[in-house]
Amino acid sequence: MRNVIVFIGILAGLSCQPTAAKQEARAEQQDTTKQTDEKEAIIMMNPEFKKQGELQQHLDDEGGGNYRYAEKDMNVALPVIADILKAKGYVAPARDVFDKKLREIFAENFSPGGTCRVREYEKFTMLYEGNSIETPFPMMSDDVVAAKEVNFIWQIPLIASLGSFVDTVHFKIDTKYTQKLISRNKYFFNDSKADLAILLNEDTAFLKVLVTSFGYTKDQKINDLVMNEYLRGEEEELEKVAAIIFKRDCKNQLIVREGLLKWIADHTDANEHRLISALYNYAFKIYEGKNDFTQNEKRKIAAYIDNTFIPLKDKYGKGGDWPAEELIFNLEARDKEIQDYLKQQNYFNLPELKNLYGE
């Protein structure tokens, strides 16, 4: 199917004076590859790669073209991306290891309620950030591609974004573009801590989407990136954190991201309790205003908030401007059956609720 040869090198900093022959060879190579001081990769491609690159110049997503991105576009790009990763030191994990990690990062997609956010193809899996899929390959999106043959993740790849054609058969990789690709895969699948530092500096948009859209909350440094942004916001904006904690799946069922509630608990003290107080107030607002939550969903949201609030109030809330009473007690004036419902649900197995209200 393809004949791919990757050459990577730096033609600078030689320790001795080059001969005339070496200088001539260097000049010839620079003319062919347009090499810079950075490492570059020149790839010899099959004709299909060039053909798809030309078709993609007329994508209907970009200025009203007449070409739609298709499975074939992905299939010709994935082997090139795999070679880039290999050349940069990425070690593809075994398939079972890769699949296990994939289901950890994108657990909401692979859950029973997330089936609308996963689409399987022969050589890759599409993982969609949202529940509404208007087209299988949306351009300029945060959807994720998981390659099955070489075991890596990336975004929907455009050939022009990978680099540029030197001639009809040679393609030059854009090494600056590929850093995010390399660091994402080395961190998540090669456990490279150095690459997390690169992602936190250069790829924050993707990391935020992992938390806010895909629900990945197992990495505290990535959680910090997202949650500290709320803490830096205006007071009236704090309640918006609820929108990334309480979500809906493909079946319109309520999802509670307990990892973010734990983050709030771990970052609350006597002086800093703005996020838990904002959630406390949020519970009252969903009872008072119009929204899409059912009565039982409001009760469940209140239960999870109160389960976080109770131990924090016991530990830190003796003074200051903390709410004076536990949330469920306070909501009874608006919902007289809330405690009966929570008891029927065995308090959602939330320990603090059981200890306080189940006594």
Please give the pLDDT value at position 30.
35
Query: Across all residues in the chain, what is the average pLDDT?
Result: 87
Please give the pLDDT value at position 171.
85
Q: Comparing 19 with 172, which gets the higher pLDDT?
A: 172
Phi, psi of 170 (to 5 degrees): -110, 140
On whether residue 209 sits in a domain, the answer given is: no
Same domain, 70 and 191: yes
Please give the pLDDT value at position 180.
93
Confidence band (pLDDT; 50, 70, 90) for 351? very high
Same domain, 42 and 175: yes
How confident is the model over 107-162, as pLDDT tens digits?
999 999 999 999 999 999 999 999 989 899 998 899 999 999 999 999 999 998 88
Same domain, 24 and 169: yes
Same domain, 238 and 276: yes
Same domain, 232 and 279: yes
Say if residue 63's pLDDT is above 70: no
Q: Which residues contact 82 (CB under 8 A, 6 or more apart)?
A: 92, 147, 149, 150, 152
Please give the pLDDT value at position 42.
66
On whether residue 335 sits in a domain, the answer given is: yes
Say if residue 13's pLDDT is above 50: no
On whether residue 201 sits in a domain, the answer given is: no
Domain total for the chain? Answer: 2
For the ranges 79-83, 111-115, 179-183, which has the lowest average pLDDT?
A: 79-83
Same domain, 281 and 176: no
On whether residue 227 sits in a domain, the answer given is: yes
Say if residue 308's pLDDT is above 70: yes
The last residue of a domain, from among 195, 225, 240: 195
Cβ count within 10 A of residue 17: 7
Say if residue 176's pLDDT is above 70: no
Q: Comparing 11 with 58, which gets the higher pLDDT?
A: 58
Please give the pLDDT value at position 15.
35
For the ranges 87-91, 174-178, 240-244, which has the lowest average pLDDT?
A: 174-178
Please give the pLDDT value at position 28.
35
On whether residue 208 sits in a domain, the answer given is: no
Say if residue 80's pLDDT is above 50: yes
For the ranges 16-20, 77-81, 157-161, 170-174, which has the lowest average pLDDT?
A: 16-20
Say if residue 244's pLDDT is above 90: yes
Same domain, 145 and 281: no
On whether residue 342 sits in a domain, the answer given is: yes
Same domain, 186 and 268: no
On whether residue 203 sits in a domain, the answer given is: no
120: left (phi over 0), alpha (psi -120 to 50) or beta: beta
208: nearest Cα among 220, 226, 193: 226
Same domain, 149 and 32: yes
The last residue of a domain, from among 135, 165, 195: 195
Domain that holds residue 60: 6-195
The last residue of a domain, from among 195, 229, 259: 195
What percent of the chain shows pLDDT beyond 90?
69
Same domain, 156 and 287: no
Same domain, 230 and 353: yes
Please give the pLDDT value at position 64.
66
Say if residue 272's pLDDT is above 80: yes
On whether residue 71 sits in a domain, the answer given is: yes
Same domain, 239 and 183: no
Sign of CA dihedral 124, 130, 136, 138: negative
